C-alpha cells in the first residue's frame, strides 16, 4: 500500500473557522466577514476582538463593558514580575521572557484563573501579554516598569507602559491598525500549535505558551527584525540591487518575502504600508519610507528572476517592521508585539 505523506498542511483541511478566510491566490483576507482593508484602520482593537469572540460588532455599552473587563486583567501577578526580574538579570531575549512569564498568567492579577471559565483565561492572555512585554523591556533597560493604566485603550496602554508617556492619537491608531491586521489568520503555524494543544482539552494558557514557541521561529514571526536590518544595511536606494543579489547568490532568504499561502502580495502588506505612510508623513522619516518601497520593488523583481514560478511576494512582516519602527519600537519588540 502506498502511503501519502503530507510534509505540511498543504491541501489538508484540518478545521473550520468563522474567524478569518484567507485566499492566497487573489490575496484576500476576510476577518469575521469584513475584508481586512475595510476594518483594520478604522476599528479599535477592542472592537475587533469583540467581533472575533462574539461574531458581531459591539454596541456602545457592550464596548464599554468589554473594554473594562479586558483592562481589569492588565496588572501582572507578583510571580509574573519575579520571573521577569530573573529573566532580565540573565538578559534573556524579550520573546523568551514573554514565554516564561506568560505561563504565570494562569494565576491572573489576583488569583487563579478558573479552568471552568475559558473566557477568563482569554482575557488574561490578551490583556497580560502587553504588560509582560512592556515591563520586561523596561527592566532590560534598567528602568522601573510602568503600571498599566486601566482608562487607556489596549493599544494606547501598551505604548504608555513602554515609554511612560501617553501616546499621540496617530501612534495609537498606527498600533491599532497593526494589531487588527494580524488579529487572526486561520491556521498558521502558531495558531495550529495552539489548536493541537487545546484539542487535548488542555487549558488556554498552555495553548498560547505553546503557540509562542512556534511563533518565535525565524521563518514565522521573527522575520520583521531582520527585514528592517536588511533595509538599514542597504541604506541607499542605489545599493539595493547589489546587496540583494549578493544575498540571493549566497542562497540566503530575503526576510519579509514569500508566504506559505499568499502567491500574490499579502493584503496585509498594503494595509500596513498605508498606515506606515500616514505615520511617517505625520512625524517620521519619509526617506526611510521611500527606501523601503524601493527595496520592496527591487526584491520582488529579483525573487522573480532567481526563483521563477515561485511567486515570492511581499508578506506582512516587511511592513510590520516599518510601521512598528515608526511607532518608536526597537526591533527586539517586533515579534513580542505580534504575539
Ligand atoms: N527569499 C529567497 N528565497 C525564498 C524566499 C525568500 N524570502 N522564500 C522562499 N524562497 C525560495 C526557497 O529557497 C525555495 O527555493 P528552492 O526550491 O530553490 O530551494 C523556494 O523559494 C520555495 O521555498 P519554501 O520554503 O518551500 O516555500 P514556502 O512557501 O514553504 O515558504 C516561507 C514560506 C517560509 C514564509 C518562505 O517564503 C520564507 O522563508 N520567507 C522568508 C521568511 C519570512 O518572511 N517569514 C515570514 C512569513 S509571514 C508569517 O509567518 C507571519
- Which pLDDT value is given to residue 1? 66
Whether 317 is catalytic: yes
- Which pLDDT value is given to residue 117? 75
Of the chain, the percentage scoring pLDDT greater than 90 comes to 84
The answer, yes or no, to whether any atom of ligand 1 lies below 6 A from the CB of 254, is yes
Sequence-separated contacts (24+) of 236-241 with Cβ below 8 Å: 236/291, 237/290, 237/291, 237/294, 237/295, 240/294, 240/295, 240/298, 240/299, 241/298, 241/302
The answer, yes or no, to whether any atom of ligand 1 lies below 6 A from the CB of 109, is no
The answer, yes or no, to whether any atom of ligand 1 lies below 6 A from the CB of 220, is yes
Q: In the predicted model, is pLDDT for residue 236 greater than 90?
A: yes
Distance CA 248, CA 307 (A): 10
Q: How large is the average pLDDT for residues 84-99?
A: 97
pLDDT, one tens digit per residue, over 287-310 is 999 999 999 999 999 999 999 999
pLDDT, one tens digit per residue, over 135-152 is 999 999 999 999 999 999
- Which pLDDT value is given to residue 144? 97
What spacing in Å lies between the alpha carbon of 265 and ligand 1's midpoint?
14
Of the chain, the percentage scoring pLDDT greater than 70 comes to 99
Q: Of the residues 259, 270, 305, 332, which is catalytic?
A: 259
- Which pLDDT value is given to residue 4? 82
User: What is the value of pTM for the model shown?
Assistant: 0.92
- Which pLDDT value is given to residue 38? 96
Q: Which of 289, 286, 315, 291 lies closest to 233, judged by CA?
A: 291
pLDDT, one tens digit per residue, over 16-64 is 899 999 999 999 999 999 999 999 999 999 999 999 999 999 999 999 9
- Which pLDDT value is given to residue 186? 87
The dihedrals phi and psi of 221, each to the nearest 5 degrees, come to: -90, -5
What spacing in Å lies between the alpha carbon of 253 and ligand 1's midpoint?
7
Distance CA 170, CA 14 (A): 39
Poorest-confidence range of 2-11, 121-130, 262-271? 2-11
Amino acid at each position: 500500500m502506498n502511503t501519502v505523506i503530507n510534509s505540511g498542511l498543504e491541501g489538508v483541511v484540518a478545521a473550520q473557522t468563522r474567524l478569518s478566510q484567507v485566499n492566497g491566490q487573489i490575496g484576500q483576507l476576510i476577518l469575521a466577514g469584513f475584508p481586512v482593508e475595510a476594518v483594520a484602520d478604522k476599528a479599535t482593537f477592542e472592537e475587533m476582538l469583540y467581533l472575533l469572540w462574539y461574531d458581531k460588532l459591539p454596541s456602545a455599552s457592550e464596548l464599554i463593558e468589554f473594554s473594562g473587563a479586558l483592562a481589569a486583567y492588565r496588572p501582572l501577578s507578583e510571580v509574573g514580575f519575579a520571573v521577569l526580574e530573573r529573566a532580565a538579570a540573565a538578559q534573556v531575549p524579550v520573546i523568551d521572557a514573554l514565554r516564561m512569564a506568560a505561563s504565570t498568567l494562569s494565576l491572573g492579577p489576583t488569583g487563579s484563573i478558573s479552568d471552568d471559565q475559558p473566557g477568563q483565561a482569554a482575557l488574561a492572555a490578551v490583556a497580560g501579554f502587553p504588560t509582560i512585554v512592556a515591563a520586561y523591556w523596561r527592566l532590560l533597560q534598567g528602568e522601573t516598569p510602568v503600571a498599566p493604566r486601566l482608562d487607556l485603550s489596549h493599544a494606547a496602554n501598551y505604548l504608555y507602559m513602554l515609554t511612560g508617556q501617553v501616546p499621540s492619537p496617530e501612534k495609537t491608531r498606527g498600533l491599532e491598525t497593526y494589531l487588527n491586521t494580524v488579529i487572526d489568520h486561520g491556521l498558521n503555524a502558531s495558531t495550529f500549535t495552539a489548536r493541537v494543544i487545546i484539542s487535548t482539552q488542555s487549558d488556554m494558557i498552555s495553548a498560547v505558551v505553546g503557540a509562542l514557541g512556534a511563533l518565535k521561529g525565524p521563518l514565522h514571526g521573527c522575520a520583521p527584525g531582520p527585514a528592517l536590518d536588511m533595509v538599514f544595511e542597504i541604506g541607499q536606494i542605489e545599493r539595493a540591487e547589489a546587496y540583494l543579489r549578493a544575498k540571493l547568490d549566497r542562497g540566503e532568504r530575503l526576510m519579509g518575502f514569500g508566504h506559505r499561502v499568499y502567491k500574490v502580495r499579502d493584503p496585509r502588506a498594503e494595509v500596513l504600508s498605508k498606515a506606515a505612510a500616514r505615520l511617517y508623513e505625520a512625524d517620521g522619516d519619509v526617506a526611510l519610507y521611500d527606501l523601503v518601497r524601493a527595496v520592496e520593488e527591487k526584491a520582488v523583481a529579483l525573487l522573480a528572476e532567481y526563483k521563477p514560478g515561485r511567486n515570492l511576494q511581499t508578506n506582512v512582516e516587511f511592513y510590520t517592521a516599518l510601521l512598528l519602527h515608526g511607532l518608536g519600537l526597537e526591533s527586539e519588540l517586533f515579534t513580542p508585539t505580534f504575539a
